C-alpha cells in the first residue's frame, strides 16, 4: 500500500476530534456543584479535565494520521 492511500485510510480517526465539541457544548450535562474534587465544583474540574483530555486526543490523532 502506498503512502497517500495509507494516509487516506487513517483519516477516519479525525472523527474523534468531534468529541471535545460534544462534551463541552452541552453545559446541562456538567453544570452542577457536586461532586467536588479538591474543593472544585464539578462544573469547574470537569472543564479543566477536558482541557487535558482533548489535548491528548488531538495528539493521538496527530500520531495515528501522520
Partner 1 sequence: MVNWTALSVFILFFVLVTVIGFTAARWKRGNLSHIDEWGLGGRRFGTLITWFLLGGDLYTAYTFIAVPALMYTAGATGFFAVPYTIIIYPFVFVVMPRLWSVSKKHGFVTASDFVRGRFESSSLALAIAITGILATMPYIALQLVGMQAVIAAMGIKGQLPLIVALLILAGYSFVSGLRAPAMIAVVKDIMIYITIIAAIFIIPAKLGGFGHIFHVANEVLPTRKPVPGSLIIGPKAYSAYATLALGSALALFLYPHSVTGILSSKGRDVIKRNAALLPAYSFILGFIALLGIMAIAAGIHTKSPTMSVPLLLLKEFPAWFSGFAFAAIAIGALVPASIMSIAAGNLFTRNIFREYIAPQTSAEREAMVAKVVTLIVQLGALLFIVALPTTLAINFQLLGGIWILQTFPALIFSLYTRWFHRYGLLLGWLAGMAVGTWMAIAQNFKSSVYAIHLGTTVIPGYAAIWALIVNLVIAIVATLILRALNVHNGNDITKAEDYEEESVKSALA
Task: Give residue 17's Cα distance to chain centre.
Answer: 6
**Cβ of 36: how many Cβ atoms within 10 Å?**
13
Length of the chain: 66
Residue from the set 9, 12, 33, 35 that interacts with partner 1 by CB under 8 A: 33
The least distance separating partner 1 from the CB of residue 13, rounded to whole angstroms, comes to 11
Q: Write phi, then psi, for 64 (nearest 5 degrees).
A: -80, -15
**If binding is defined by CB under 8 A, does position 64 make contact with partner 1?**
no
Residue from the set 9, 12, 26, 64 that interacts with partner 1 by CB under 8 A: 26
Residue from the set 9, 12, 17, 64 that interacts with partner 1 by CB under 8 A: 17
Amino acid at each position: 500500500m502506498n503512502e497517500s492511500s495509507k494516509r487516506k485510510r487513517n483519516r477516519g480517526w479525525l472523527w474523534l476530534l468531534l468529541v471535545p465539541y460534544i462534551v463541552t457544548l452541552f453545559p446541562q450535562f456538567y453544570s452542577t456543584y457536586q461532586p467536588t474534587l479538591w474543593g472544585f465544583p464539578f462544573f469547574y474540574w470537569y472543564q479543566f479535565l477536558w482541557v487535558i483530555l482533548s489535548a491528548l486526543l488531538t495528539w493521538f490523532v496527530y500520531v495515528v494520521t501522520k
